[in-house]
Amino acid sequence: MSAPLVSVVMGVRDGETYLGEALDSIAHQCVEPIEVIVVDDGSRDATVEIAGRHHLRPQVISQAAAGISAALNRGISAARGEYLAFLDADDIWPAGRLAAMLEAIERDADIDCVFGSVVNTDARLDPIAPPRPARLVGALLIRRASALRLGEFDGGVAHAAIIDWSSRAEAAGLRFHAVDRPVLLRRIHGDNFGIRDRATARGDLLRVIRDHHKRTRR
Res. 194 pLDDT band, cuts 50 70 90: low
Give pLDDT, residue 212: 47
Q: What would the pLDDT profile of 73-82 be if each residue is shown by its tens digit? A: 999 999 999 9
Expressed as residue numbers, the domain containing 134 is: 6-148+169-190
Is residue 213 a part of any domain in this protein?
no
- pTM listed for this prediction: 0.88
Is residue 24 a part of any domain in this protein?
yes
Q: What is the dihedral of CA 206, 112, 56, 88, to 10 degrees?
A: 10
Q: What would the pLDDT profile of 53-72 be if each residue is shown by its tens digit? A: 999 999 999 999 999 899 99
CATH of residue 103: 3.90.550.10
Residues 6+ apart with CB under 8 A from 103: none
Res. 198 pLDDT band, cuts 50 70 90: low
Overall average pLDDT of the 124-129 stretch: 96
Is residue 20 a part of any domain in this protein?
yes
Distance CA 104, CA 114 (A): 8
Is residue 44 a part of any domain in this protein?
yes
Is residue 218 a part of any domain in this protein?
no
Q: What would the pLDDT profile of 5-24 be if each residue is shown by its tens digit? A: 999 999 999 999 999 999 99
Helices (H) and strands (E) in the chain, counts: 8, 8
Res. 213 pLDDT band, cuts 50 70 90: low
Overall average pLDDT of the 81-110 stretch: 97
Q: Is 55 exposed, middle or buried (0-12, 13-18, 19+ CB in 10 A)?
A: exposed
Number of domains making up the chain: 1
Is residue 116 a part of any domain in this protein?
yes
> Pairing between strand 176-187 and 113-121?
parallel
Mean residue pLDDT of the chain comes to 89
Is residue 49 a part of any domain in this protein?
yes
Is residue 133 a part of any domain in this protein?
yes
Q: What would the pLDDT profile of 33-52 be if each residue is shown by its tens digit? A: 999 999 999 999 999 999 99
DSSP of 151-167: ----GGGGGGHHHHHHH
Decide: 102 and 37 in contact? Cβ < 8 Å: no
Res. 135 pLDDT band, cuts 50 70 90: confident
